[in-house]
């Protein structure tokens, strides 16, 4: 019985280790520090190992690991220096261009800007967003469904949709700022 559990944990571990790059990438964008990201990923795996019996086979292992990583980040890093915005995304009004002609002109410039933006600028813009915004954008980028993102961040599916929309609007606003 103990042997079976150990074999299960080992099998899960092999699968979990395949996500090391993905988890580290998210950790880098959350902590903005290579050293902190390494510590965060290591702590995530340690917690995952101790909670391996709580993982439901057949569910999304990547999403489960993301949830552990994010919870670890929130418990260890949130009260430090890493949160640049005051208030959460749910209280931020998204900036969306309206139908006025001046905004359309600005929209044209924005499209041109988005075509030319380089990786370093996107990274910088993303890093300047709140932790909530960075998280939903990166989880969405990882291909997690809204239901899975909701499980990772612990909110309703509808909230994920609105957070993601606002986060992307905030990112576009930052990228517009760089072109001025």
Partner 1 sequence: MTCDEARELLLDAQRGRLPADQRGALEGHQASCEACAHEAAAEALLSEALEGRLPQHAAPVALKRRLAAAWPDAPAAEPAPRRWASWRRALVPALAVGVLLLAALPLYYQRSSGPGEPMVTEAVNDHLRLLSSQHPLDIESGGMHQVKPWFEGRLDFAPVVRFLGDDEFPLRGGAVGYYLDRKAAVFVFHRRLHAVTLLVFRAEGLPWPRRGLERVGGVTAQVTTSRGFNAIVWREGELGYALVSDVDLPELARLVGRLAAAS
Residues in contact with partner 1 by CB under 8 A are 3, 6-7, 9-11, 13-14, 16-17, 20-21, 23-25, 28-29, 34, 37-38, 41-42, 45-46, 49, 96-99, 103-104, 107-108, 110-111, 114-120, 122-123, 126, 137, 141, 161, 164-165, 168, 171-172, 175
At closest approach, how far in Å is the CB of 147 from partner 1? Answer: 12
Within 13 Å and on the Cβ side, how many CA atoms surround 74?
A: 12
Picking from 74, 59, 61, the residue whose alpha carbon sits closest to that of residue 23 is 61
CA 158 distance to own-chain centroid: 17
Closer to partner 1 by CB, 136 or 152: give it: 136
Closer to partner 1 by CB, 86 or 118: give it: 118
Closer to partner 1 by CB, 104 or 154: give it: 104
At closest approach, how far in Å is the CB of 122 from partner 1? Answer: 5
CA 5 distance to own-chain centroid: 31
User: How does DSSP classify residue 93?
Assistant: P
At closest approach, how far in Å is the CB of 59 from partner 1? Answer: 19
- Is-contact 37 24, C-beta < 8 A? yes
SS3 98: coil
């Amino acid at each position: 019985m103990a042997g079976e559990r150990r074999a299960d944990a080992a099998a899960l571990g092999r699968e979990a280790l395949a996500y090391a790059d993905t988890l580290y990438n998210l950790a880098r964008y959350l902590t903005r520090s290579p050293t902190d990201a390494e510590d965060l990923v290591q702590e995530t795996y340690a917690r995952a190992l101790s909670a391996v019996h709580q993982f439901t086979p057949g569910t999304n292992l990547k999403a489960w690991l993301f949830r552990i990583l994010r919870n670890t980040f929130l418990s260890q890093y949130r009260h430090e220096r890493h949160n640049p915005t005051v208030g959460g995304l749910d209280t931020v009004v998204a900036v969306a261009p309206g139908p006025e002609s001046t905004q359309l002109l600005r929209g044209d410039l924005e499209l041109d800007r988005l075509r030319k933006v380089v990786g370093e600028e996107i990274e910088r813009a993303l890093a300047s967003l709140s932790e909530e915004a960075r998280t939903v954008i990166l989880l969405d980028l990882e291909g997690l469904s809204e239901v899975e993102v909701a499980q990772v961040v612990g909110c309703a599916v509808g909230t994920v949709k609105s957070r993601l929309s606002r986060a992307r609007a905030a990112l576009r606003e930052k990228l517009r700022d760089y072109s001025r």
